[in-house]
Amino acid sequence: MDTGSLAKADFEQLSEFRYQLRRFLRFSEDICRSEGVTPLQYLLLLHIRGYAGRDWATVGELADRLQAQHHGVVALVSRCESLGWVERRPGRDDRRVVEIHLTPAGEARVGRLAHAHRNELATMGDGFAVPRPNPD
């Protein structure tokens, strides 16, 4: 890799981005643990709730979103299922597919945590600005 093509300002920008990212991740780790949730459990719940176009996801889709191995996500889903946050359901169109859904308890938990995360992002400035929904 040729580092000669990057200016000092490029390194400063990358450094600042990584600093702000780490600050946010530390906040996330702390707020999750204060709610009795591991950061990975929160991400699982968030990715189920936030899956585009529907209110559930498959283990394979969650593994991709989490950038994790399939068998690790199966174990994570099982732990969250035993806590009452998710449930497995047979696929509506294809019975071979297993849909992972949030339970009401999972919905409540991820809602509280997502709200806190969104508020934190709002305080971090333009580098992490999240568009606010339009009030209708």
> What is the predicted pLDDT for the residue at 4?
67
Mind listing the domains of the chain with CATH numbers? 20-123 (1.10.10.10)
Whether 87 shows a pLDDT value over 60: the answer reads yes
Record the pTM. 0.86
Beta bridge partners of 93: none
**Where do we find the tokens 């580098």?**
127
Beta bridge partners of 87: 101
| pLDDT tens sequence across 109-126 | 999 999 999 999 988 876
| pLDDT tens sequence across 16-55 | 889 999 999 999 999 999 999 999 999 999 999 999 999 9
Q: Identify the band that residue 78 occupies on the pLDDT scale cut at 50, 70 and 90.
A: very high
Q: What is the SS3 string spanning 13-25?
A: HHHHHHHHHHHHH
Alpha carbons 99 and 124: distance in angstroms, whole number = 35
Q: What percent of the chain shows pLDDT beyond 70?
A: 89
